[in-house]
Amino acid sequence: MATAFSVGAVLVAADGTVLSTGYSRELDPADHAEEIALAKIGLPAASAETPRLTGATMYSSLEPCASRASRPTPCADLIIASGVSRVVIAWCEPPIFVPGGGTVRLSQAGLTVVVLPELADAAKLANAHLLPG
């Protein structure tokens, strides 16, 4: 069985209220953290923008995917469709499984993207078994 990244996501409303959380493989081996956080508030893959997500922030320990083999819609596209306006990540996707590019896609769609490299080492700890030497 292939091992996947351990990723966590938290969806926070503009007023600071935590709307939902998600983590990789939470409900299914192919689940991504951001996908689950959005699904928990009732957003399917083809959701229209949701008013309560206007001004919301998605926090994730890893860059949302821009391409995906296990599902038809990458997490970056799910976030864009949701109406979330800001994404904060600790670590950009390494090219171990799929190429990165989520932050570029989010930025091109007009979302604010914040990368906190000072948190990258902590995010990598949960995934050290997958990273090269």
In this structure, of 18-22, 64-68, 106-110, 126-130, the range with the lowest mean pLDDT score is 126-130
Give the pLDDT confidence of 22-32 residue by residue, as tens digits: 999 888 989 99
- Can you give the pTM of this predicted structure? 0.87
The catalytic residues are 34
Instruction: Transcribe the chain into DSSP letters.
Output: -------EEEEE-TTS-EEEEEETTSSSTT--HHHHHHHTTT--TTPPP-GGGTT-EEEESSPPPSS-SSSSS-HHHHHHHHT--EEEESSPPPTTSS---HHHHHHHTT-EEEE-GGGHHHHHHTTGGGS--
Give the pLDDT confidence of 49-81 residue by residue, as tens digits: 567 788 999 999 999 999 887 888 999 999 998
Among the CATH numbers 2.40.50.100, 3.40.140.10, 1.10.510.10, 3.40.50.720, which is that of 8-130?
3.40.140.10
